[in-house]
Every structure is written in structure tokens, then in C-alpha cells.
Structure 1
Amino acid sequence: MPSSSRRPSPSSSTPPGVDGPPEEEAWLSTPDLAARWKLPPKTIASWASSGAGPRFARLGRHRRYRLSDIRTWEFQQLEKTGPHSPTAAVSVRHDDETWLTSVELAARLQISARTLDSWATTGTGPRHARLGRHRRYRLADIRTWESQRLDATVTGHPTR
């Protein structure tokens, strides 16, 4: 016999045939944002307290970050890296929004992290964003940079 105090399952709270909110309207918590950028949650909280990070909304005692605001802030950080950066891809696939640390990118390229840091300083490496004191590389920009390097090598005019 079913109990009258039984709660509906989460899947039954959404009417059939109705999707969730559009991706741009999704909200991320501080731990979600920290995982996206591979930073400690305390860094995100510190930025929020000082007004240095992306825009957020206070929902009770919780901070929530709208995905569209995060993407805007990320793009602004990419633009700050300087004129040597390649142009941003206009259309970015969902999996290209992954951010890599310097160590992860160095492992992907099979180079030392010091070489990657040197490239970032001289502007010869892939486009990066400074998130506080942390350097992060977006997968879309890495793929663009790799493609440019491959194209230049194939045509016989290697780029720096």
C-alpha cells in the first residue's frame, strides 16, 4: 500500500517532454566553478569577496554563477593576454570549453612546464587566460594553436 507521505522522485517533477533550462541559463556553485577552472574553492570565494572574479548572484547564503557570465568573464581574461594571442574561435564546441593547467598542457605536448611558461612569456605558445595568478589554457585555443603549427610545418614555413 503506497504511503501518502512519499515524495515524488526527481524525474517526476519535470513534466514529460520538457527539457531543463537552456545551457546559457545554467547556474554553477562555487565548487562547480572551482572544478571547471581547476582551482581551490577558497580562491573563487576570495575573488568573490574582493570583487575580482566573475559576476555572481546571492541566493540566500550561497553564491551562484550564471554560465553565460562565466563565459563572458573567461573571454575577457583571454583578451587580457595581449595582442600576440591568436583570434578566438567563434564557434566553440562544448568539449572545447575544458580548461587545462600548465602541467596538463605540458604533458599533452610532451614538453617541460618551464618551456610552456617561457612560451607564455614570449607569446609563442597557445592563447591563455590569467585567472588570478593561475594560467589556464582553453582546449579550443590549444587545438587552434596546434592546427596553426601543423599547417605552418606542412607548408614549409614553421612559425615561432
Structure 2
Amino acid sequence: MEALLFITAAAGKINLCLRLSGVVSSPSSHEYRFVYEPMTWADAQSYCRRMNSDLATIATMEDMKTLNKMAVMNNMVYTSYRTKVWTGLYRDGWKWSAGSRSSFSYWKSTEPNNSNGNEKCVLATFDALGKWEDWRCDVEKAFICSSSESSSASSS
């Protein structure tokens, strides 16, 4: 985990800004990174892929617990982004962006509902322990990138 502290002073005021960023590995050997620049699902996918990863695959409850812990740490600073972030899951037989089918699910009780027939992408809602909601893919949100340890080791 990296922590950067910025201190600026102007007109008799001192401003402090703490920025946390980092990668956390879960027992399932995925590495996750929260990205706080709002993007559509497709733009977020492209961003992650440019960084040699993909939108997050959440394969187990252990993965979900890891992400919830990361969200709690990040929310101390990034409170305006604490609720809904893109995952890699999308409605095509419920596949992950990386290509595998989803066998694990963590839906809110009223989801997926495919409201108006156009909710094809999935958000994790960290005000509800990371439970999932289906949403329109063209909405700009923060997102989570993930990679396996083997793919990140080979890109080093």
C-alpha cells in the first residue's frame, strides 16, 4: 500500500491531502485495484486492459471479503466514491470481462432486474457489503481492475 501526503499552504491556510493506493492479493490469487476516475463500463474495461489487467473477476466469497476490506480502507479518503463501482461481470450468460463464466454470485435481493431491458453490466455496491446490481453500461462510475498473480508476474 502506497500512501502519499501532500501539504500545501496559501493565504494563511494549510491543506492536507492523503492519497492511498495499492494492490491487495486475495487467497484466490487475484490482485485488485480500485480506480476512482469515473468511466463507462467499456472505457473502464479498456483502461484495465491497457494496464495489463481486466475489470475485476470476483470468483469467491474470499474475493468479496478482500474487496470489502479494501473499500473500507479507501473510504477513509475517497468518501464520494464509496458506493457503486464497476466489476467485470456482464449479461451474456453472466460472463466476466476476462472471458470466464460466473459461478459465484452476490446479488442484492432485488437484483438482477434488467430495468427497462438495458441493464447489462454489474456494479458492486459497497454501502451494501459489495452486493451486486445490474446497471446500464453507459453510466460513468469508478471501477475495480484485477489480474491473477501469474499474469502480473509474467508482465513484470
Tell me which interval the TM-score lies in, with the shorter structure as reference length: under 0.3
**Could you say which structure has the higher helix fraction?**
1
The TM-score, its normalising length taken from structure 1, stands at 0.26
The TM-score, its normalising length taken from structure 2, stands at 0.26
Q: Which has the higher relative contact order, 1 or 2, with Cα contacts under 8 A spaced 6 or more apart? A: 2
**Could you say which structure has the higher strand fraction?**
2
Bigger Rg, which one:
1
